[in-house]
Amino acid sequence: MPKTRIMSLKPIMILEGEKKNLIITDIHIGFESIFASNEIFIGKNSSINETISELLDVIELEKPDSLILLGDVKSSIKNISKSEWDDVPLFFKKIQEKCHITLIPGNHDANIQRLIPENISMISATGMVEENILLTHGHTMPSENFSHVDKIIMGHVHPVFFQEDSLLNGQRVWVTMKTEKQNIFPNKSGDIEITIIPSFNRYFYATHKKKYKKSISPIIERIKHVSTAKIITLDGTIIGDESMIDQVL
């Protein structure tokens, strides 16, 4: 069975079975244009260079066989922005030089096939299975064909911890929870574990919950009851359980 672990201080999961994979989600290349419309300016090319540099450092350290992208590589939903025409191909080119890339498209990745170079493995938005684990973006319901899995690893909802009197207020967090499998796969019994990876985009944080618009996942909406949960900071500290799910999702 493949084993999973989270990297300290990084929103990156490592999946090790026959091969070693890095898993990240929600890069949102090109998000600066949305920020700029709200008069928040980050600087031309600064974030894409940060993203590439950070990933290359991790790849050099961990030496994975593959990088699995759980969707929302680009930021615009229906179109391709001017910056995305330049920055998305640059991202793939630089990372592909160091390891193989598999892309599971997210809801922001419309037409991304026009931006990716050859030899990138782009698969269905419904996700892919590694033995007992389903890897998916999180914006679609898993097919019954995946009902044998007992773990789901997803992104999409950008979990952030909100507690205004806490030093951790507005910080990205990991969420792992167990629920009844029949919530996701009606014809199955037992439990299923769901892990939500934080956004790789370091600028996706907030200080006030009402000002932070989160994505809605049909997977999460189907969950009627969470039996157990852990809310974990990027440095690996457990800061909450199932009683605090509403503060991060």
pLDDT in tens, 129-185: 999 999 999 999 999 999 999 999 999 999 998 887 888 888 999 999 999 999 999
Is the pLDDT score of 106 beyond 90? yes
Give dist(CA 91, CA 242) in Å, integer: 37
Strand partners, 133: 130, 151
* Number of domains comprising the chain: 1
The predicted-structure confidence for 29-52, as pLDDT tens digits, reads as follows 987 555 444 444 445 556 888 999
Give dist(CA 144, CA 152) in Å, integer: 13
pLDDT at site 96: 95
pLDDT band with cut points at 50, 70 and 90 for residue 214:
low
* pTM, two decimal places: 0.91
The CATH number that applies at residue 34 is: 3.60.21
SS3 of residue 175 by DSSP: strand
Residue 156: CA count within 13 A, CB half-sphere:
26
Is the pLDDT score of 87 beyond 80? yes
Is the pLDDT score of 226 beyond 60? yes
Question: Residues near 157 by Cβ (< 8 Å), separated by ≥ 6?
Answer: 138, 196, 214, 215, 216, 217, 220, 249
The predicted-structure confidence for 188-206, as pLDDT tens digits, reads as follows 999 999 999 999 998 876 5
Question: Which amino acid appears at position 138 of this protein?
Answer: G
Give dist(CA 175, CA 152) in Å, integer: 12
Q: In terms of residue numbers, what domain contains 106?
A: 3-247
Cα 171-72-223 angle, rounded to 5 deg: 65
